[in-house]
Structure 1
Amino acid sequence: MTAPADPSGARPQEDRGGARAALAGLTTRGRSFLAAGVAAAVCAYVLGQGDLLRVGLLLAVLPLVCALVLQRTRYRVASSRRLSPGRVPAGSEARVHLRMENVSRLPTGLLMLQDQVPYVLGPRPRFVLDRVEAGGRREVSYRVRSDLRGRYPLGPLQLRLSDPFGMCELTRSFATHDDLTVVPRVEPLPPVGLSGDAKGYGEGRQRSLALSGEDDVIPRGYRYGDDLRRVHWRSTARHGELMVRREEQPQRARCSVLLDTRYLAYEGAGPDSSFEWAVSGAASVLTHMIERGFSVRLLTDTGASAPDEGGDGFAGAAQESAETAGLMLDTLAVVDHSDGEGLSRAFDQVRGGREGLFVAFLGDLDEEQAAVVARMRQRVGAAVAFVLDPVQWAGGPGARPGDEAAHRLRLLQEAGWTALAVAPGSSVAEAWRRADQERVGSGPAPGTTGGWS
């Protein structure tokens, strides 16, 4: 079986080894026929029975001929795979569409398809195509589902050919595969009060003109279509050409989300673990703030950030909201535990006065790490912390945080954080609403703005 020069690269790879590969493809039936034929031929030689020898040769030759014919069969086929959708939330289904096309002048025989699928997505799908005419095509589809986020490869697709007698089966594999991205669950969050520096589109601060007067205005050259009422005559006289005042540009407010990924800060594993709750919470907050017009940034305890290059480190100001949300969700889809023991690297990434709203999802904190988080409050605007105590999560729904965790919360609250413990079974929207209620009840810290979102 061969394949055309498909521009997508989806073509089967030829097995190497020729006759050896064909013999290795003999089925149980083919091996039984071959063994029976050899045994009959030996017995015929010993006993001097010519008729038995002919029967033995027939039994032995039949599977060899089938293997040779099948190995020399040349089918020209092409395949393609389409994911719908290519990015799916954990716990939701995606459909995979496979398309097989016979681009040769001869019809194919029986084709058996098997796509390689990771076990977490379900069993490997298998399909049987009876006969594909010359130039014909067949389409099949199957569903995949995973409760665990991640990036999973689908493929390569395998074709299994067999002869009409079932004596031999040969497998051909296509070279390409596709990736299915399973992103964390995103919960819609309720809108809460906006004020101060935490505003997004339409309400944010503006880049104002200089306060000292019109002389400090930075003009630019006149462009076709500019309003003549914006012509800056003093600069025009100075430069000898028409100059206009720059337009005031709205500045998007910023939001940074810190995700604590330290392995020692969490206990348990699986979709219902505290770490997965923190990842889902970070995804929900980032998506919520992007929808409200904020520029966002994702930080981890390792010091890594997304986006990791270009600009000022925030995404959203020059990108479409859908692209920014996709970038954040793709990053969170593959985030894993780190081997770090502290949050000092994250502290170094926090730049004073430039973070805007700061939301942290934290695991277990000792005295030293609680002090590091408390110092972060001095570098950010409004600050909210969701703390997931391993002792509380080990106790199940209804459990209360341990004494040490309660002490750490008080330290953060005294430093100006809106900090609260997250109980097992709580939804992200519920925790978001509780944080807003606690912020309103306690009031803003001295010298800070009151709103956050």
Structure 2
Amino acid sequence: MRGGTDAPGPTAAAGPGPAAAPDAPDGPAQGAGGGLRRAFGGLTTRGRSFLAAGLAAGGCAYVLGQPELLRVGLLLTVLPVVCTVVLHRSRHRVAGSRRLVPPRVPAMSEARVHLRVDNVSRLPTGMLMLQDRVPYVLGPRPRFVLDRVEPGGYREVSYRVRSDLRGRYPLGPLQLRLSDPFGMCELTRSFSGQETLTVVPRVQPLAPVRLSGEAAGHGDSRTRALALAGEDDAIPRGYRHGDDLRRVHWRSTARYGELMVRREEQPQRSRCTVLLDTRAAAHRGAGPDSPFEWAVSGAASVAVHMLRRGYGVRLLTDTGDTVPAPGGTGGFAGATGDGAGAGLAADLLLDALAVVDHSAGEGLVRAQDVLRSGNEGMVVAFLGALDEEDASVVARMRQRAGGAVAFLLDEPAWAARGGWAGEEDRDGDALDRQRRMLRDAGWTVLRVGPEDSLPGLWSGADRFGARQDTEVAP
């Protein structure tokens, strides 16, 4: 995992006059706060050396009676003191801002951070040293040295950050060190503003295959009549100005004594639940190439793919937590059906998957309780290592699902590649028994090995609905 500054150094831009105010600037940071005691605490090694040499020269001049040496000692002593007082008393006002482009990136992609420092005082600054705090996973802390900034001027620098691991990473605060022209003293200030870089799982493009159990029309809005038994059983409503008179329901009109019309057929969207097994006991290994990260990336890819096909999608974990939370759309993102809603839903699900972590759970019963509360349409599950009880619970999840696809972790294959093999590992026969149990319950089962790719497995999911004993090439 690497990231950090540009190889040739910071890019810089200078403005001779007042520049446009930066967006949401931090500060300004003033160089006149904190007292002289703290100011003298900012003496550099050079300043301390001059001060020590001056005091030593003054002492020797007094002992030896050498007035010329005393003048040299006074000069060496006064110079760092004067520089410190002048730097402390000069009211430098510096404003800083940070711009992150883009604020959210897929794993193993880069973002660029732009820093801007404005001198909003009437005095020029000395040399400025900038350091931005970044987490170690994003790379080393970027450091920049800037020349003096004229009154009303500004400087801009930028650096790159990159993470192979998803998550939310704070950037900042920005630290600024201001020094005098002789390098005798430094003042350090920290700005309060921070930005957050969100690293989401990688989304892989998937082919539009027809899954086993998928209803006709896919996820597009399909009109379903609210009245299932004919006109007499239609649910009427009161007449509104502009309603077509051909929709008048005469029997209800006679019953209620007012003009009633049949309700319009309402579109109903298909739904898909993406189940992610996050149990720590079901996933071993860590890092971007671990089976858990494979499952998280797969869940993100399937969720975005189904949203683009017009499905209402929700994320469900083994703990029973769902994203989005149950609400007006029934807990399914993208249920409104418009393109903007699908985009916002994808962002919501990806943000949740960016921070999902292992759970301490030992079973999948809570997820089953959520699924059996109603007909949830399609279910796509990313499962870790299962035992017989877990496999039985997953098999029962199929009862209320219109279609079900399971990506089942091939633990022996992952263990062999990662060197985790041990006596407690499940053998291939146990994995085959679990696959048969899920297939008998109606699941389409796709075995996930360390060399398998999600697009390759997904493209064969339609064939597995009929022939699930055939291996799918990665």
Fold shared per TM-score above 0.5: yes
User: Structure 1: how far apart are the matches of 2:215 and 2:251?
Assistant: 35
1:338 is displaced (CA, Å) by 1.0
Stretches of 4+ aligned residues off by more than 6 angstroms? 236-242
1:173 is displaced (CA, Å) by 1.0
Assess, with a 3 A threshold, how the Cα gap between structure 1 residues 199 and 104 changes in structure 2: closer, same or farther: farther
1:190-224 Cα offsets, whole Å, 9 max, x none, are: 11126753744446352433424246332244256
Match of 1:8 in 2: 24
User: Structure 1: how far apart are the matches of 2:95 and 2:274?
Assistant: 45
Indicate whether 1:418 and 2:444 are aligned.
yes
Indicate whether 1:317 and 2:335 are aligned.
yes
Match of 2:459 in 1: 433
| Structure 2: stretches of 5+ with no match in the other structure | 1-20, 470-474
Greater shift in the superposed pair: 374-383 or 44-53 = 44-53
Indicate whether 1:95 and 2:112 are aligned.
yes
Match of 2:148 in 1: 131
1:288-325 Cα offsets, whole Å, 9 max, x none, are: 00000101111111111101242321111137111100
5 Å matches for 1:303-452? 303-311=320-328, 312-318=330-336, 320-396=341-417, 402-441=428-467
User: Structure 1: how far apart are the matches of 2:147 and 2:80?
Assistant: 22
| Structure 1: stretches of 5+ with no match in the other structure | 444-453
1:402 is displaced (CA, Å) by 2.4
User: Structure 1: how far apart are the matches of 2:132 and 2:269?
Assistant: 46
Assess, with a 3 A threshold, how the Cα gap between structure 1 residues 29 and 375 changes in structure 2: closer, same or farther: same
Indicate whether 1:142 and 2:163 are aligned.
no
User: Structure 1: how far apart are the matches of 2:104 and 2:245?
Assistant: 49
User: Structure 1: how far apart are the matches of 2:40 and 2:225?
Assistant: 76
1:112-136 Cα offsets, whole Å, 9 max, x none, are: 2222111211222223332333333
Contact 1:202 1:250 in 2 (8 A): no
Assess, with a 3 A threshold, how the Cα gap between structure 1 residues 158 and 199 changes in structure 2: closer, same or farther: farther
Q: TM-score, normalised by structure 2?
A: 0.85
Assess, with a 3 A threshold, how the Cα gap between structure 1 residues 54 and 356 changes in structure 2: closer, same or farther: same
Contact 1:184 1:279 in 2 (8 A): yes
Assess, with a 3 A threshold, how the Cα gap between structure 1 residues 190 and 277 changes in structure 2: closer, same or farther: same
Question: Aligned pair count?
Answer: 437
1:414 is displaced (CA, Å) by 1.8
**SS state of the match for residue 11, structure 1?**
strand
Match of 1:446 in 2: none
1:83 is displaced (CA, Å) by 1.7
Match of 2:57 in 1: 40
User: Structure 2: how far apart are the matches of 1:209 and 1:329?
Assistant: 38
**SS state of the match for residue 171, structure 1?**
strand
1:242 is displaced (CA, Å) by 6.2
User: Structure 1: how far apart are the matches of 2:132 and 2:237?
Assistant: 62
Greater shift in the superposed pair: 48-57 or 337-346 = 48-57
Assess, with a 3 A threshold, how the Cα gap between structure 1 residues 317 and 112 changes in structure 2: closer, same or farther: same
Contact 2:125 2:148 in 1 (8 A): yes
Match of 1:447 in 2: none
Match of 1:219 in 2: 237
User: Structure 2: how far apart are the matches of 1:272 and 1:261?
Assistant: 16
Contact 2:124 2:150 in 1 (8 A): yes
Indicate whether 1:296 and 2:313 are aligned.
yes
User: Structure 1: how far apart are the matches of 2:458 and 2:170?
Assistant: 35
Contact 1:34 1:63 in 2 (8 A): yes
5 Å matches for 1:120-269? 120-193=137-210, 196-197=214-215, 199-202=217-220, 204=222, 206-214=224-232, 216-223=234-241, 226-227=243-244, 229-230=246-247, 244-269=261-286
User: Structure 2: how far apart are the matches of 1:107 and 1:243?
Assistant: 79
1:28 is displaced (CA, Å) by 1.3
1:105 is displaced (CA, Å) by 3.2
User: Structure 2: how far apart are the matches of 1:79 and 1:335?
Assistant: 33
1:49 is displaced (CA, Å) by 2.3
User: Structure 2: how far apart are the matches of 1:433 and 1:101?
Assistant: 54
Aligned-partner residue type, residue 330 of structure 1? D
Assess, with a 3 A threshold, how the Cα gap between structure 1 residues 55 and 358 changes in structure 2: closer, same or farther: same
Assess, with a 3 A threshold, how the Cα gap between structure 1 residues 196 and 402 changes in structure 2: closer, same or farther: closer
| 2:82 maps to which of 46, 65, 74 | 65
Contact 2:379 2:405 in 1 (8 A): yes
User: Structure 1: how far apart are the matches of 2:390 and 2:323?
Assistant: 23
Contact 2:111 2:162 in 1 (8 A): yes
Assess, with a 3 A threshold, how the Cα gap between structure 1 residues 61 and 84 changes in structure 2: closer, same or farther: same
User: Structure 2: how far apart are the matches of 1:428 and 1:229?
Assistant: 52
1:11 is displaced (CA, Å) by 1.4
User: Structure 2: how far apart are the matches of 1:186 and 1:73?
Assistant: 53
Greater shift in the superposed pair: 430-439 or 146-155 = 430-439
1:102 is displaced (CA, Å) by 2.7
User: Structure 1: how far apart are the matches of 2:217 and 2:318?
Assistant: 27
Aligned-partner residue type, residue 303 of structure 2? L
Match of 2:39 in 1: 22
**SS state of the match for residue 413, structure 2?**
helix
Indicate whether 1:275 and 2:280 are aligned.
no
Greater shift in the superposed pair: 268-277 or 197-206 = 197-206
1:234 is displaced (CA, Å) by 6.2
